[in-house]
Structure 1
Amino acid sequence: MKNLIKLEELAMLGLSIFLFSETDFAWWWYLALILTPDIGMLGYALNTKIGPATYNFFHHKAVAISVLCLGWFFSQEWLELAGIILFGHSSLDRLFGYGLKFSDHFKHTHLGWIQESITSK
């Protein structure tokens, strides 16, 4: 993955940390919840059609931003937290080369093949 894309994702991860710092939650909540969006991988236990759909739902930045905005609109801190975590996790994944999944193979993402993304400079 190109370094410019990595920098962009790092900046978005930083934004999620900043947004989290503006909430009333203790710092450890961010660390405790940052990997929870990977629950979307459970869809792969059902089949290879549902797997990418559930994974992509929990890793799509538009979903994260929508949840965050709903939290702001309804003044619901837990929704805000969920949106921040979804956004930060998606940025962290993309920083490491993991993107949204295609249904043909788990390692085939919108950023390319996972092994190629991780090893490319």
Structure 2
Amino acid sequence: MKTLIKFEEAAQVILSLVLFAQLPFAWWVFPALLLVPDVSMVGYVFNSKTGAFIYNVFHHKAVAILIGVLGFYLGNEYVLLAGIILFGHSSMDRMFGYGLKFDTGFGYTHLGEIGDLKK
């Protein structure tokens, strides 16, 4: 099952690349911005509950889609880019086993404990 989920997430990363290709930005912008959402880990400086909340807001696909749709309807390519980057990043993270966080600690995710993807 985990292999199937990884393929599904990989397909979503590819979708984000296809959507990005429709925008007028240089090719290097996508990889340059792809890890920016991980800045949200700064919340863990305060505590696990704050860290998980901030991290999950930046890694929730519904938030990414909402931002992307907002950018599309506003005709704002930068907001649309932000949504695509958030979506692609979240899909990439899930492909590698980094899911949404529980407030018990960074390593506890909705996909299981980080590093527990042996199957």
Matched, 1:80 2:80: yes
- State, as a whole percentage, how many aligned pairs show the same letter: 56
Residue equivalent to 2:52: 52
- The normalised TM-score by structure 1 is 0.96
C-alpha RMSD over aligned residues: 0.8
Partner of 2:9: 9
Whole-angstrom distance in 2 between the partners of 1:105 and 1:43: 12
Q: Distance in 2 between matches of 1:49 and 1:111?
A: 18
Distance in 2 separating the partners of 1:44 and 1:104:
11
- Structure 2 gaps of 5+ residues are none
Q: For 1:27-56, what per-residue CA distance to the aligned partner results, in whole angstroms no more than 9, with x for missing partners?
A: 110010000000110000111211000000
Output the amino acid matched with 2:109: T
Structure-2 separation of matches of 1:59 and 1:72:
20
Aligned ranges 1:15-94 → 2 under 5 Å = 15-94=15-94
State the Cα distance separating 1:115 from its structure 2 match: 1.5
**Where does residue 106 of structure 1 map in the other structure?**
106
Q: Which runs of 5+ in 1 are unaligned?
A: none
Could you tell me how far 1:10 is from its partner in structure 2?
0.3
Aligned residues: 119
Q: TM-score scaled to structure 2, two decimals?
A: 0.97
